[in-house]
Amino acid sequence: KLDQIEDLRLCGLELCDDDLRPDVLNKLSSLVELNLSGNRLTCIPEGIVLKKLQYLDISNNRVASVEWVKRFPGLIDLDIFGNIGLTVDDRYKITFLLENLNRLDRKGLEESDKLRETFTKKLIVRINNLWKKEFADNIPDDSTEKDVLKLQNEFVQRAKAKVHYGPNSLKGYRLWRIEAIAKELVLFKIECPGSNLLLEIVDDTSSSEENPAVKSEKKLTRKAKNRHTEETCGDVFSPFSFLQCHSKDNGSSDFSTQVWCCSFEPDIEEKSKTTNLVATCGGDTVCITECTTAKVQMRFQQKNEEFYVVAWSTLNINKHKSNILVAAGCLGFIHLLHPKQGLCYGRINAHSSPIQTVMFSPYCPTHLLTGDKKGNVYMIDIDVPTIPEYKFSWKKLMRFVGIDATPLKFCIPPIGGYLLCASEYGLYCWKSNDIMKTFPRGRSSVIINDNLSELRFPGTKMEESMVDALAMLTDDMLATKVSQQGCIFLWKFSDVEPKLKATKGNKVSVITVPVFKELKWSNTKQCFINMAACVPKCSIISGDEVGNIWIYNLSDALEETSSYKDKITEPSRIIPFPKCTNTSGDLLLKFKKGTIYNDISCNSDMTFIVVTADTNLVGIYKKV
């Protein structure tokens, strides 16, 4: 079978480029060695993907350029001898494009044969100096794509004429690298002024060629200009790794799968702490990733499903504490996963429409709160599975009625037995009279709770009342984001609890919420952007519509007295969306204006922040 072939020899057959058909060659998924010598090929055509290819012989053909080799990053042995259109420069291009290459034209490569890192650093320093000298003051305030292309062309031509390094015999290679670096530097200066590899290389190499005092002053100037990353106090985070672990067919070209939710695994011994494992869901896939290594530890797929939400709980399974994960989405099923064993041990069919939010009750580890698109809200007992059969018996315990809206987030304050529900039509609260906390054992019928109140915030309009984010910051303080308001409201549950306590069922009471603080956030009309609270650090974090991360350190603010008319609290730090390149180092222009961060989460000591995006990205940021 084609997918079992590891070594293929097609030499001396007078093959042309059109004879290499992607629909056939792409079925050679196990191909390690390919011999195409003695043909009429100019390259391996676009569209051919051979992920396991390590040995390629394309000698004695008509190859005149080598840019195409970067599509085969796994190559360790390449033979291009006898292609008269290639020059010495092309050999050095190959050693730059193929980092893993050990042999070229049947000869072993020494480090001296590769001009990759040192040569590039030297060029970057010179190109950056040229930019500062002649182009830094010519950047238009609002650059269009046409302006950027024009500036790129002008700067590339100037750099090719002015920047010199290395012997004249390598002029072709030097000009090739200058063009790539100059184009990237223009985009970097205009679109992505934050810290990145390019700037780090400039700083590192400048120390050997510039006065140390000048280097220090340059860094301070950059920090003063970069209001996003350096303007205020607080911990500093930098992008650690961005993953495409939810891709359709594991393809790197998938930037359309929406990754909806992320949640850190709880510590099985201390409820207030987490591990560094994070669960994410999007498309038909649930992933569990170790943040310290950015490696996916477990991957679960369900055909035809689109997962929206995940939630963790610690159960006593077979007399041992172990974490389980639930995942739910468009099909209305609740999938039960035991990550430690790497299996899905069951699913619950409790809803007939897409499940939008889930949360485990803090009172009982098997009590799961669920809400679907039609406004159905249940508390379900998922039971503890028996080992080794993983048998379980689930049942509905309570049904919360009265809202004609899609629930988006749940929250259970630690006092009074209330259930808060953020929805597309506002913020609601059910009073359960502690039934959730002390649910009667052995009860067979489902308890109906219709004791419902609506909580409204001053200054918000009815048509703009969607509450798309809700988080508990302390035992009394909550954070709520009302869509399209450009701010996050902080309020105390104790300010509204007396009014909630006095309400009676059968009629929805409307209660105005006194706002303790307003936190400035993005002035966007984009909905369904979640936020999260780090209780141990007394912080709120949120993404936005262009991939920024807003961090609010509120330990001091919560000690102040405040009213609704007080000055809006600014974020402690805003982390901008980073510059994105693919594995070949090419800039991904798709992300020039960032991306929407659907969800955000952090571990308990706030050393890692994880975001999920609507462009098939899971981003891991690390405290530095």
Domain that holds residue 124: 110-191
**Before 388, cis peptide (omega within 30)?**
yes
Chosen domain end from 82, 105, 128: 105
Check whether residue 442 and residue 393 sit in a common domain. yes
Of 79, 105, 131, the domain-final residue: 105
Shared domain check, 566 and 436: yes
| pLDDT tens digits along 533-554 | 999 989 999 999 999 999 999 8
In a domain, 345, yes or no: yes
CA nearest 372: which of 402, 330, 343, 413? Answer: 330
Give the domain CATH number at 591: 2.130.10.10
Please say whether the beta carbons of 415 and 497 come within 8 A. yes
Domain count, the chain: 3
Least confident of 15-29, 455-469, 507-521: 455-469
Cβ partners under 8 Å of residue 566, min gap 6: 517, 518
- The verdict on residue 579 lying in a domain is yes
Q: Cβ-count burial of 502 within 10 angstroms (0-12 exposed, 13-18 middle, 19+ buried)?
A: exposed
Measured CA to CA, the distance from residue 414 to residue 412 in angstroms comes to 6
Q: Are residues 170 and 82 in the same domain?
A: no
Q: Long-range contacts for 16-23 (Cβ within 8 Å, ≥24 apart)?
A: 16/40, 16/41, 17/41, 17/42, 17/43, 17/45, 18/45, 20/44, 20/45, 20/48, 22/47, 22/48, 22/49
Q: Are 305 and 331 in contact (CB under 8 A)?
A: yes
* DSSP letter for each residue of 527-579: ----EEEETTTTEEEEE-TTS-EEEEE-TTGGGS---TTSPPBPPSEEEPPPP
253-310 confidence digits (pLDDT tens):
788 899 999 999 999 988 889 999 999 999 999 999 999 999 999 999 998 899 999 9
Tens digit of each residue's pLDDT (9 = 90 or more) over 396-426: 999 999 888 999 999 999 887 899 999 998 9
Q: Return the SS3 of 41.
A: coil
pTM of the full predicted structure?
A: 0.65
Which pLDDT does position 586 carry in this prediction? 63
- Same domain, residue pair 162 and 305: no
Tens of pLDDT, residues 93-103: 888 888 778 88
Asked if the model's pLDDT at residue 339 lies above 90, the reply is yes
In angstroms, rounded to a whole number, what is the distance separating the alpha carbons of residues 324 and 339?
A: 7
Q: Is residue 207 part of a domain?
A: no
Contacts of 325 (CB under 8 A, 6+ apart): 265, 279, 286, 288, 310, 311, 312, 336, 337, 338, 339
Same domain? For 71 and 131 the reply is no
| Tokens matching residue 613 | 């995006």
Categorize the per-residue pLDDT at 490 as very low, low, confident or very high, splitting at 50, 70 and 90: very high
CA 242/CA 255 separation, integer angstroms = 12
Residue 231 lies in a domain: no
What whole-number distance in Å separates Cα of residue 375 and Cα of residue 401?
8
Average pLDDT (214-237) is 41
The enclosing domain of 90 has a CATH number of: 3.80.10.10
In a domain, 227, yes or no: no
Does a structural domain hold residue 48? yes
Count of alpha carbons within 13 Å of 337, Cβ hemisphere only?
Answer: 24
Does the residue 228 lie in any domain? no
Give the integer Cα–Cα distance in Å for 421 and 600: 19
Please say if the pLDDT value at position 315 is more than 90. yes
Do 6 and 75 have their domain in common? Answer: yes
Q: Give residue for tokens 């031509």.
A: 157
Q: Do 401 and 539 belong together in one domain?
A: yes
Looking at the structure, do residues 248 and 314 belong to the same domain, yes or no? yes
Question: Which tokens hold the place of 170?
Answer: 């390598």
Shared domain for 397 and 442, answered yes or no, is yes
Task: Tell me, yes or no, whether 574 lies in a domain.
Answer: yes
In this structure, the answer to whether residues 295 and 378 fall within a common structural domain is yes
pLDDT of residue 108: 75
Same domain for 134 and 99: no
**Last residue of a domain, which of 163, 191, 219?**
191
Same-domain pairing of 555 and 460: yes
